[in-house]
A and B are shown apart, each in its own frame.
Chain A
Amino acid sequence: MLKMNQQIVAGKRSENIRFLYDKYAGMLLGYVVEVTKDRAVAEKFLVNFFCNLSGQLDEHEWDGLDNWCQLQRLARERLEIFMFGTHRTEADRPVNLVMHGARDKFLDRLSDEQRHVFCEVYYYRKSIELLSSELNKTEDSIRKALKEAFAIMRKGGEN
């Protein structure tokens, strides 16, 4: 009886994770490859992430509206620990911020500043405050650059 229950639980959990995997695994892998700059590490992380997600599935609502944002947020948190442990330093970060292939084309539409702001925030979770002090610019201008980057990328996607 217990074995049967185990199979049902495992089956249901596996089914839910499969749904998220089918829809978002490619997107997540693309994102993680850019952060880690290492395909093998990214694939290992992907397996690890979805296995762990099965244990936390009930802690989140998966209503479909912001599934990707939620999944990406969880992945970003876990990725930081996966790559750098609990103490991350700037030196730990993979070098080479150059994008590859289709992603190059996508980010090429942005100016240097927009690309820099977007990549630092999107891939490396840098705060607006930190970027503003690093680039010696106001927080408003950093937010503006980020907004413009989004607008250009949205426009690019529509074309």
Chain B
Amino acid sequence: MVKINEYIESGILEAYVLGSASKAEAEELLYMKAKHPQVLEALLELEMDLEHIAQRMAIIPPVGTWEKIEAGINEVVKAKNSDALTLDMPFEDRGGRTKSRKSSQFIEVEAESGHMRIRKIWRWIFAGVFLLGKIFLACAIYFYLENRHNEKELEQLKNELKIHSPR
């Protein structure tokens, strides 16, 4: 009992609550706290003292401080949830290229850039459509020119006929 009182009076408890006790002292104190209720009681009393000291040295925060904190908390929650949403998606839906947490954050940036992912088969379909378009265009120009040429010839023939026909 005397030893416990000596221990409590040694100042180790004060050093511990202020975070300046060494690792060995802290370990010893945790052991003593668990074993001796007097130590636990003294420690709780000290924690209360510390709170009272802080209360008497308190400064009221300026108006608007809580609003700033609240806005900050909402930002933190928003950022966390958007991160969680990306991570909860299956890998193939995240873009399929990367599987790391860091790279998955780029999905949104890519979506905003205007890029679009399509199946490879569409590449050949687009190429076919493009080629067919070119062929139709070439045919159209060819037939147009041919038609114009024929019309000119016809006009020429008509004129010749007019000249050679008897009056």
Contacts and interface: CB of A to CB of B under 8 A. Distances in A.
Given A17-B69, A31-B54, A106-B56, A2 B19 contact: no
A147 B52 contact: no
Contacts, number: 140
A147 B50 CA distance: 12
A46 B72 CA distance: 12
Nearest to B13: A147
Contacts of A28: 54
Interface in A17-45: 17-18, 21, 25-31, 33-34, 43
A interface, size bucket: 35 or more
Given A6-B77, A29-B59, 4 more contacts: A14-B73, A29-B60, A47-B65, A144-B10
Interface of B: 9-12, 14-15, 17-22, 44, 46-47, 49-62, 65-66, 68-70, 72-78, 80-81, 85
25 contacts: A10-B78, A14-B70, A17-B69, A25-B61, A27-B54, A27-B55, A30-B57, A43-B61, A46-B61, A47-B69, A50-B69, A54-B72, A55-B80, A68-B47, A68-B54, A103-B57, A106-B53, A127-B20, A128-B20, A128-B21, A140-B11, A147-B10, A147-B11, A153-B49, A153-B53
